[in-house]
C-alpha cells in the first residue's frame, strides 16, 4: 500500500528547481497482519480490501513508474496526462477502500473492533494522505506544463492552480460532512497534508507580498479552520450519531461476500 508521494511544493518560484531535481514521489509501507478469525485470515475474510482495491493499486504503481520516465525526458504533456490518470486511480483506491468497510463495518464493529479501528486509522487515513498529495501533485504538474508550454503570465497560472485547490477543498468539506458521512466519517488526514504543503510553499516563497503569496496564505488559513471544524464534527458525531448499533449483522462475512459482485470480493 502506498502512503506518501514526495512532491515539490506548490510554489512557482521552485518549479525550475523541481524540473532539475528529477524527484521521485513514491514511498511504500506495509502492515504485517497475522491475526485470524473463525472463517479465515483477517486479510482475506472479510474482504474489506477487495480485488478492485488491489487492481487499482497496481495500476497506480505502473502509472507512477511511467511518470518518472516521462518527467526525466521532460515530456510535460504526457507527464501531465499520466499524473491525471494516477489521481483517477487514487480515487478508485479510495472508493474500494471505503466501500469495503461500508459492507463489513457492522460485522467488524461487533466482532473485531480493534481491526476496524486499525483499518480506519492506517488504511483509510493513509490512503487519504496519498490521494491528497497526489491531487496536489497533479495540479503542480498542470502549473509546470502551463509555465513551460504556454504564454500565460506567471501569476495567472499560479492563481489558477490555487483556485482549483480551493474549490476542491470546499467541495470535499461539504461532501464528507453532509453527504458521504457513512463512508468517510473518520477520515481526518486530508487537511494536515494541505496545511503542510502550503506551509512549505509560504516558507520558500521569494515574493511575500505578491498575489500568489496572499492567496496561498488565505488557503492555508481556510484549511486550518476546516481541519478544526472537521475534528469537532467527527467527535460530535462519534458520540451522538454512531454508525453501527450494538446488534450487528445477522450474516457472516462469507454470506455477505456471496451477495457482492466479484470486483468487491
Exposure string (b/e) for 105-141, b if CB count within 10 Å is 16 or more?
A: bbbbbebbeebbebbbeebbbbbbbbbbbbbbbbbbb
Please report, in tens digits, the pLDDT of each residue of the chain (265 residues total).
433 343 333 333 333 333 333 334 433 444 444 454 444 544 455 778 888 899 999 999 999 999 999 999 989 999 999 999 999 999 999 999 888 888 877 888 888 888 889 999 999 999 999 999 999 999 989 988 888 888 777 667 788 889 999 999 999 999 999 998 888 999 999 999 999 999 998 888 777 777 888 899 999 999 999 999 999 999 999 999 888 876 555 555 555 555 555 555 5
Give alpha helix (H) positions in the chain.
Answer: 15-21, 51-72, 76-111, 113-118, 125-149, 154-174, 181-184, 190-203, 211-240, 253-257
Q: Are 106 and 249 in contact (CB under 8 A)?
A: yes
> Domain limits of the chain?
12-264
Amino acid at each position: 500500500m502506498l502512503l506518501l508521494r514526495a512532491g515539490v511544493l506548490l510554489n512557482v518560484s521552485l518549479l525550475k528547481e523541481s524540473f532539475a531535481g528529477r524527484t521521485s514521489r513514491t514511498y511504500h509501507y506495509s502492515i504485517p497482519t497475522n491475526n485470524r478469525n473463525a472463517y479465515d485470515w483477517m486479510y482475506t475474510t472479510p474482504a474489506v480490501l477487495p480485488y478492485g482495491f488491489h487492481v487499482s493499486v497496481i495500476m497506480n504503481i505502473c502509472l507512477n513508474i511511467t511518470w518518472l520516465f516521462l518527467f526525466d525526458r521532460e515530456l510535460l504533456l504526457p507527464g501531465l496526462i499520466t499524473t491525471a490518470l494516477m489521481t483517477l486511480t487514487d480515487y478508485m483506491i479510495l472508493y474500494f477502500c471505503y466501500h469495503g468497510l461500508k459492507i463489513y463495518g457492522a460485522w467488524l464493529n461487533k466482532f473485531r473492533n480493534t481491526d476496524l479501528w486499525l483499518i480506519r486509522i492506517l488504511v483509510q487515513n493513509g490512503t487519504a494522505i496519498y490521494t491528497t498529495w497526489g491531487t496536489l501533485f497533479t495540479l503542480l504538474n498542470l502549473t509546470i506544463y502551463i509555465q513551460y508550454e504556454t504564454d500565460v503570465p506567471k501569476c495567472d497560472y499560479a492563481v489558477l492552480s490555487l483556485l482549483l485547490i480551493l474549490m476542491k477543498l470546499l467541495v470535499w468539506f461539504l461532501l464528507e460532512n453532509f453527504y458521504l458521512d457513512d463512508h468517510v466519517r473518520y477520515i481526518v488526514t486530508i487537511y494536515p497534508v494541505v496545511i503542510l504543503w502550503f506551509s512549505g510553499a509560504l516558507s520558500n516563497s521569494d515574493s511575500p507580498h505578491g498575489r500568489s503569496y496572499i492567496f496561498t496564505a488565505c488557503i492555508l488559513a481556510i484549511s486550518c479552520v476546516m481541519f478544526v471544524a472537521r475534528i469537532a464534527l467527527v467527535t460530535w458525531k462519534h458520540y451522538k450519531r454512531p454508525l453501527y448499533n450494538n446488534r450487528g449483522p445477522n450474516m457472516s462475512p462469507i454470506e455477505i461476500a456471496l451477495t457482492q459482485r466479484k470486483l468487491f470480493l
